[in-house]
Amino acid sequence: MHSAKPQALPATARPAPLRRAGSRLLVMLVPWLALVGLWYLVKYSGLVQAQLLPTPAAVLRQFWVSLTTENLWVDMLLSTRRVALGLFFGMLLAVPVGFLVGWYRPIRRFVDPLINFFRALPPIALIPLVIVYLGIGEVARVSILFYASFFAAVIVMYEGMAQISPIYIRVARTLGASDLEIFWKVMVPLTLPHMLTALRVALGVSWATLVASELVAAQNGLGARIQNASNFFNLEVIYMGIICIGAIALLMDWLLRALSRRLLSWQDRINGEAGA
């Protein structure tokens, strides 16, 4: 007997995952391709003087030259480290302060005006005071990023806690839970989404503040490179630095979103069970 040959899957069934992956990739690429096309359109439309707007190709060439011969990767790593340190220390303080202010309403009424007052101050306005009190070293630069990330995160933290329904606490107390058990088993899981949102908001604010922090006598870093290029009207380097900041910030945000999906997967399961 001849063994039956396995039949090939229908053409429509076989490449379905590939089609989905291709569709997702296309959806991701279309906005960027449209942006590059718009960039070229503005460049050659005559809306701006030709020498005031480099082409994407010129910026890409500058990126390659800077990366291979001018240690651009060192500036990228230094700026990322500064942002990471400012973000870490900012969140380290924002989380307990957010819990404290959100948990105790009397403290919130007292602290809320102060937090909103300092949150409204642009970090760049504090640079002279930072130089006076902290000098012009790394501590001064990281402190500016810490300031920006803390006030961005703490608002999200305690506003998120204030929106948690008190029914969860009442039910926990009815079941005999202590304050410590309510805090760890009720409030922390319910506040985790707000922590992750605060982290993402603080990350964006930190990168937006990077150039200001590197005004403090920085000789390296993406912000310093942009500042130095502006002194010589080197537009290719300015655009390159801006794009590098945006690209690294986007990559870090993608990582945080992936972490959020993993840490909050239990909520999707609970919602699915509740819906069923």
* Domains along the sequence of the chain with CATH: 71-265 (1.10.3720.10)
Query: For 135, left (φ over 0), alpha (ψ -120 to 50), or beta?
Result: left
For the chain, what is the total number of helices (H) and then of strands (E)? 12, 0
CA 263, chain centre distance (Å) = 17
Q: What is the pLDDT of residues 156-213, one digit of tens each?
A: 888 887 777 778 878 888 888 887 787 788 888 888 888 888 999 999 999 988 888 8
Residue 53 has pLDDT above 50, yes or no: yes
CA distance 159 to 145: 22
Cβ atoms of residues 245 and 210 within 8 Å: yes
| Site of tokens 């200001």 | 212
CA distance 86 to 153: 12
Residue among 67, 87, 56, 78 nearest 224 (CA): 78
Q: Where are the alpha helices (DSSP H) in 123-231?
A: 127-134, 138-162, 167-174, 179-182, 188-213, 222-231
Distances (CA, A) of 2 to 5, 9: 9, 21
Q: Give the up-direction half-sphere exposure of residue 47: CA atoms within 13 A in the CB hemisphere.
A: 8
Predicted local distance difference test score (pLDDT) of residue 127 = 86
Residue 274 has pLDDT above 50, yes or no: no
Give pTM, 2 decimals. Answer: 0.81
Tokens coding 169: 């606490």
Residue 88 has pLDDT above 90, yes or no: yes
**pLDDT, mean of residues 232-243:** 93
Predicted local distance difference test score (pLDDT) of residue 38 = 92
Q: What is the pLDDT of residues 258-268, one digit of tens each?
A: 888 888 776 65
Per residue, what are the HEC states of 112-138? Answer: HHHHHHHHCCCHHHHHHHHHHHHCCCH
CA distance 245 to 73: 12
Cα dihedral: 195, 197, 200, 204 (round 10): -120
Q: Fill in the DSSP letter of residue 51.
A: G
Coarse DSSP helix, strand, coil percentages of the chain, rounded to the nearest 5 percent: 80, 0, 20
| 50: helix, strand or coil | helix
Share of the chain above pLDDT 70, in %: 90
Predicted local distance difference test score (pLDDT) of residue 180 = 79
